[in-house]
Amino acid sequence: MIIDCDPGVDDAMAFIAAARWADLVGITTVAGNVPLVHTTANACRLRSLLGLDVEIHSGADGPLVGVQEFATHVHGETGLGDVVLPESDRGADSDDAVGYLVETTRSEEGLHLVPIGPLTNVALALRADPGLADRVASITLMGGSALGVGNVSAVAEFNVFADPEAADEVFRSGARLTMIGLNLTHQVRMGAVHAAQCRTVGSPVGDAMTGLLEFYTKFHLAEEEVSDGPVHDPCAVLAVTHPELFTLEDRHVQVELAGSHTRGMTLVDERGARASAAANCRVAYGVDADAVIALVMQAVREG
């Protein structure tokens, strides 16, 4: 798989899961939770922490159109909470994420593209080469939501809200799409108990995960008065590596661009045979959350 990301506390958790469970081919970075300079630096530091020998290519530093949104209140000013990872021994391999996505999916067909940030790079790559949609095994994205769940607004999820035009182009691309939305990820929650377990691991990865979970839990305790938080991004990675843990339904999904209250909403047509158009996406509704969390924790222990 190729991961397109905006690290990001839960993106970092997705790195840990991918390092253990995926055949990770490469990484592209995009602005999202924090500016591109930080998402790229974080990806490089995580690559070093996990001993990954993969290329990292930075991409878009903002949405296709519209005002840029960050989520520093969730992920901290530099994106990994208050976790400070050692400087990376290697910087990004280029600033041409689009070229990397196009060329790598040409040289190796059947890759899964796993976007876990705003979809700007993916949309630009599809513009550069629409044939990418047919070459990838799937675009399995953490983003959007079924059943009207929102986080940045009553009905919009951050990755789609941050660049709705890009998301719209991806959902209309004809690619084999799997949407891991908030309706799914809110079922997979980790918190202080898991942080305490990670603390006993006694490794750089265990210590990093402890800090990430403790920061994330503090945010959710303050914001939602709950003692754990949804670990969004690892769900997208594990939906590719362990599909048996997820229940998916075919749906027609479209992105709202013009709504004054609903811009960035993924409108999922739940009407079955009466849906307004043919299904363009497999939407995740169910998950064996305990099994997903166990895979994340095993990846931490073995990281």
- Interacting residue ranges for Ca ion, rule: CB under 5 A: 6, 8, 11, 116-117, 233
Specify whether the CB–CB gap between 14 and 292 falls below 8 A: no
State the helix-helix crossing angle for 120-128 and 97-107, rounded to 10 degrees: 60
Q: Of ligand RIB, Ca ion, none, which one does residue 45 interact with (CB within 5 to 8 Å by kind)?
A: none
Nearer CB in complex with ligand RIB: 142/299: 142
- Smallest gap from Cβ 144 to ligand RIB, in A, equals 9
Binding residues among 91-120 for ligand RIB as defined by CB under 6 A: 116-117
Helix (H, G, I), strand (E, B) or coil at 57: strand
CB atoms within 10 A of CB 204: 15
CA dist 51 and 303 (Å) reads: 9
Among 26, 32, 59, 211, binds ligand RIB (CB under 6 A): 32
Nearer CB in complex with Ca ion: 8/135: 8
Q: Of ligand RIB, Ca ion, none, which one does residue 163 interact with (CB within 5 to 8 Å by kind)?
A: none
Does the annotation count 75 as an active-site position?
no
Among 57, 232, 251, 252, binds ligand RIB (CB under 6 A): 232
Among 29, 151, 178, 266, binds ligand RIB (CB under 6 A): 151
Specify whether the CB–CB gap between 263 and 155 falls below 8 A: no
CA dist 161 and 63 (Å) reads: 10
* Among 3-11, 103-111, 245-253, 259-267, the segment contacting ligand RIB (CB under 6 A): 3-11
Helix H or strand E segment including 63: none
| Selected catalytic residue, list 38, 57, 75, 232 | 232
The DSSP bridge partners found for residue 252 are 269
The DSSP bridge partners found for residue 57 are 28, 94
Residues recognised as catalytic: 232
